[in-house]
Structure 1
């Protein structure tokens, strides 16, 4: 499992949440590593203006290709960000823009990976930031497991600490279900030799002819199900 940390503050609430997540995941016998965006050179989108027309990945020279490669190798990914100015921290915002427009939109390589979200806040806009990241995961065809309430962690203290009992409980449920889903997908592919979900619908920019199913004819998904 890969954690993407969008906090600029070392040792802050977001770091503590990911450290806690890492301990829980390792207790289940799974691997967990964290990418701290603050430790990488990530350029904001440039004024080149050809993102909607280009057919190759972004050519800006920074650490984004290496981070995207780590995401491709992971079975599950957790986005973790604090709320700043009623939105995600600027590191996370820059990251999801560059990752999506510059690299992921061409063939959606994160399709069918399990995704999770941690949002840390003082009090306000955590649900709005969570919804934005949900849209991003779904856009990338990732699997967002239901786990009750979202993992929203609040701390009104000036000192970083994990004091939100309900938020931590939601975080624990999310992580356990992410691991369970990842193991299920891996077991199925090992036994069947094919992914559980189809991967032929990855790029919304590629025009597709409407599928016409004749009477008595089965679709490809129905054939796989049988």
Structure 2
């Protein structure tokens, strides 16, 4: 069995340093590190990510996006991790724009070609004041499933509300859901690692890794 620490990478879509989303990820990191996992946070606010351009050839091009920014290095870090957490606040009743730009560029420009996140364990954390947390959570869950990731059930989703003017982990039920999620993510990562040691074959067939390849192995 692979003896390296399990690696969990969190993608943070918050513009606000030290805000509710950062606090939630800080707590998640403490829980995971206490169990021996390696946990890192990639703050989208610290990276240059271009919005999708009007080139219009995303559905026909045979290679990854040619816009020059930090996306290739971000995708490489995602592909190297055992598990991923997408964490974002609610903005304007929807997904914060940094996370929206990221999932568009990552998915259409890079991930769709080889599905490098397939069979990685995924989780979602959403912070908000009062409204639309569930719809934002659903959008990110759909994105994880689109990329053939494994979403581990953990009871209620990790939706953390804070109506106070200052950042804080003031939602006991949301914090409890976060705790359950990160522990089950780590448990699943360890289980998958053990199973791969016993059965090293890739359980994801090639025709399901690239959406441009049909079940018969022919381009579509």
What is the TM-score normalised by the length of structure 1? Answer: 0.90
Within the alignment, does 1:69 sit opposite 2:76 as a pair? yes
Deviations, residues 148-200 of structure 1 (Å, cap 9, x unaligned): 000000000110000100000000000011000000111111233234x3242
Q: What pairs with 1:137-148 in structure 2 (closer than 5 Å)?
A: 137-148=144-155
Q: Kindly tell me the number of residue pairs found equivalent between the two proteins.
A: 209
Residue of structure 1 in register with 2:156 after alignment:
149
- In 1, Cα distance between equivalents of 2:127 and 2:94: 11
Within the alignment, does 1:198 sit opposite 2:198 as a pair? no
Residue of structure 2 in register with 1:93 after alignment:
100
Within the alignment, does 1:37 sit opposite 2:37 as a pair? no
Deviations, residues 61-120 of structure 1 (Å, cap 9, x unaligned): 100000000000000000000000111100000000000000000111100000000000
Residue of structure 1 in register with 2:138 after alignment:
131
Residue of structure 1 in register with 2:114 after alignment:
107
Within the alignment, does 1:170 sit opposite 2:177 as a pair? yes
Structure 1: gaps of 5 or more residues: 211-226
Q: Do the aligned residues in 2 keep the contact of 1:115 with 1:145 (CA within 8 Å)?
A: yes
- In 1, Cα distance between equivalents of 2:186 and 2:44: 24
Question: Secondary structure, in 3 states, of the residue corresponding to 2:114?
Answer: coil
Q: Do the aligned residues in 1 keep the contact of 2:118 with 2:204 (CA within 8 Å)?
A: no
- Offset at residue 135 of structure 1 (A): 0.5
- In 2, Cα distance between equivalents of 1:194 and 1:18: 33
- In 1, Cα distance between equivalents of 2:21 and 2:193: 29
Question: Secondary structure, in 3 states, of the residue corresponding to 2:116?
Answer: coil
Q: Do the aligned residues in 2 keep the contact of 1:111 with 1:199 (CA within 8 Å)?
A: no
Q: Do the aligned residues in 1 keep the contact of 2:49 with 2:69 (CA within 8 Å)?
A: yes
Q: Do the aligned residues in 1 keep the contact of 2:12 with 2:41 (CA within 8 Å)?
A: yes
Q: Do the aligned residues in 2 keep the contact of 1:26 with 1:32 (CA within 8 Å)?
A: yes
Residue of structure 2 aligned with 1:79, choices 86, 105, 115: 86
Residue of structure 2 in register with 1:54 after alignment:
61
Residue of structure 1 in register with 2:5 after alignment:
none
- Offset at residue 205 of structure 1 (A): 2.6
Structure 2: gaps of 5 or more residues: 1-7
- Offset at residue 202 of structure 1 (A): 1.2
- In 1, Cα distance between equivalents of 2:144 and 2:86: 9
Runs of 4 or more off by more than 6 Å in structure 1? none
- In 2, Cα distance between equivalents of 1:192 and 1:53: 36
Q: Do the aligned residues in 1 keep the contact of 2:126 with 2:133 (CA within 8 Å)?
A: yes
